[in-house]
A and B are shown apart, each in its own frame.
Chain A
Amino acid sequence: MQNNHKEYDVVVVGGGISGLAVAYGLCKNNEKLRLAIIDSPTELNKASRTNVGLLWCQSKFLDVPDFARWGFLSCKHFPELLQELKEISKIEIPVNFTGGLIPTLGEAEFTQRGDYIQKLKTALGAYPGSMISRSELESKLPKIKFGEEVTGAAWCEEDGVVEPLLLFRAYRSALKKMGATILEDSMVYDVQAKDNNAYKVMTSRGEITCERLVLAAGLANRRFASFAFNDSDNATNLDMPHNLHDNLYDVSYNHGGLPIFADKGQVLLTERLPFVMPIPLLGCTQTFGGTVIIGFKHETRGHDATVVPEAVSQEGAWALRVWPELAQKRIIRSWPGLRVMPNDKVAIYSHLPNHPHVTVINTHSAVTLAAVHSRYLPEYIMGGDLHECAENMTLKRFGFAC
């Protein structure tokens, strides 16, 4: 696109899995919608390209049951999303809806995990999973010789795994076929409100105006959303001196601006193995390419995204306790990724303070939640309500007025 000035109904800043998912949903609802996605040059850290593709709802968010429900809802709608994408893009997306397993090492871990799941059952009312014994685990994955310490696993039948890069590619291809404009390798320099109902986005490809703006640029949302926080009186604690012991990543810490941080992950990738894992194991997952991805760490190191062998080999050492045969398998690649983590780990779906036509989307589970992002977020973006599961996921919970 060489035009210097273009008008769209909706502009989505950020062409990762979140941006693509909502853009797809928006275009699907309204084929006449004029929509553009802006995606930055790929040298910048791209969370959507560095993940395993797990569709994971089990065993988390006991304290926010709605978020757990939101995940299960997405897993439920995933098959139809993939079917639609396949029809439009003609791209086959490998996926397993065979459930998911979290192996436990030792009795204490087994009990601990079991307690957590019991509490989840109570909080949610219904829960499609349970603890299984080691022998049950072995019968689910008969081709894997588990290490001695493995006592069993948490099993959930609603989980699965998808090939994330093909999902990504299918979304993009479908969007192009549906008439969306994708501006690749483009930088966004500034976002300005034109008047109450329009926005100006200054990009390396020229100026773009839109009626509604979606910020789905992951960690970069911090700078794109800042215009709403700078001119509002929502920032608190401006006069208070900072304390060396403040935990930057604590829910209660308010540093002004969008409450998200970079959560670092690193993975090791092995050579191709024959298929032995029809049901994904969390932490060492065999991909559709036959390789095994090992990694599950969460670290907070700001934007530092270097691979630190000491850290990643702790994950490797864990994987060896679960699956000792991996010791002889060769690592052929290793890479880091920065997860996009809201301060309280729950997704952020929110209009910005004083800007009802701007929606910000941030979550670290963008692959799992792709189905509900496509299905339910467009309504909110266009001025309607949030799905009931996601009602409390706006910025209000952090003390912002919106």
Chain B
Amino acid sequence: MSDTVKIYVDEKMMEVPAGISVAAAILGHSHSHNHSNDQSRKAFHNNSMDASPRAPYCLMGVCFECMMEIDGEANVQSCLVTVQDGMQVKRQLNTEAFHYKNTEDDLPENRRTNND
């Protein structure tokens, strides 16, 4: 049994100790001197309301800021998943800031509005 496993974060390979969580792997093993490139400080996901960058706060399952796509499943708490060889991990960064209303494109043409 190997002491390390290879996981793929946004398709980039990382070799990390076996037995640790995905979130701990990314936070603890992907540093860079160049702060703006530092993968450990890059958002794990964007918040679904205001699209702000979020990363783990608690690393133990209560803050829900570690959510990532793991092996095709979205919104998985990566701090509760143990790294496995070949695991595909993706940051969820494509959220736009949330609005209450549909855009004009979504609404049917002959709808009534408040002004009718």
Residues of A with Cβ closer than 8 Å to B?
79, 82-83, 92, 94-99, 140, 157, 163, 271-272, 275, 278-279, 288-290, 328, 330
Contacts and interface: CB of A to CB of B under 8 A. Distances in A.
B108 A94 contact: no
B98 A272 contact: yes
B82 interface: no
Contacts of B102: 96, 275, 278
Contact of B101 (A82, A94, A157, A271): A94
A278 B108 contact: yes
Contacts of A97: 111-113, 116
A98 B108 contact: yes
B100 A94 contact: yes
Contacts, number: 46
Given A95-B114, A275-B103, 18 more contacts: A79-B113, A79-B114, A79-B115, A82-B114, A92-B100, A97-B112, A98-B111, A140-B108, A163-B100, A272-B98, A275-B106, A278-B102, A278-B106, A278-B107, A278-B108, A288-B100, A288-B101, A330-B75
Contacts of B101: 94, 288
A163 B101 CA distance: 11
B13 interface: no
Nearest to B110: A157
Contact of B75 (A83, A271, A290): A271
Interface in B35-76: 48, 73-75
Contacts of B108: 98-99, 140, 278-279
The main secondary structure of chain B at its interface with chain A is loop
Given A79-B112, A79-B115, A83-B114, A98 B107 contact: yes
Nearest to A79: B114
A140 B109 CA distance: 11
Contacts of B110: 157
Given A272-B98, A290-B48, A330-B75, A79 B116 contact: yes
A331 to B, nearest CB: 12
A272 B111 contact: no
A97 B111 CA distance: 7
B98 A290 contact: yes
28 contacts: A79-B112, A79-B113, A79-B115, A82-B114, A83-B114, A92-B100, A94-B100, A96-B107, A96-B111, A97-B113, A98-B107, A98-B111, A140-B108, A163-B100, A271-B48, A271-B75, A272-B48, A272-B98, A275-B103, A275-B106, A278-B106, A278-B107, A278-B108, A279-B108, A288-B101, A289-B100, A290-B98, A328-B74
